[in-house]
Amino acid sequence: MLVAQSSDVSSDLGIYLPLVVMFALAAAFAVFSALLGPLVGPSRYNRAKFQAYECGIEPSPQPVVGGGRVPVAYYLTAMLFILFDIEMVFLYPFAVSADVLGLFGLVEIFLFIATVGFAYAYVWRRGGLDWN
């Protein structure tokens, strides 16, 4: 037996073993598949094949969209994502122990959501959530 027979299960690192096995198998499968293509597939050289796809025209030497820059709205979205991700992550332990905390917890979480909601409302009002 490779895994410890322990009564105290959660203190055992063995609970992560299946995850590691799954990761190894999935990684092996993915790498194998990615390597399989060039091995069994044909390879016939053609200059046009190595050009980036631009609907049949010669690829423009100019960089992609807007001088190689992406719209700033993506940055805002990512920033908001961090904001709500952190809020979400705090809500999980709260949700687990909400019953113990009772009314006190309700007030706390209401304050927390309201505070984040304030930032959210500000971004909304300034048009940070609008896409063109």
Helices 98-125 and 73-96 cross at an angle (nearest 10°) of: 170
Residue 104 CB, shortest distance to other proteins, in Å, is 8
Residue 32 CB, shortest distance to other proteins, in Å, is 9
Residue 107 CB, shortest distance to other proteins, in Å, is 9
- 20: DSSP letter: H
Which amino acid is residue 117, in one-letter code?
Answer: G
**Residue 59 contacts by C-beta under 8 Å, 6 or more apart in sequence?**
51, 52
Rounded Cα–Cα distance for residues 85 and 94 (Å)? 14
Residue 51 CB, shortest distance to other proteins, in Å, is 6
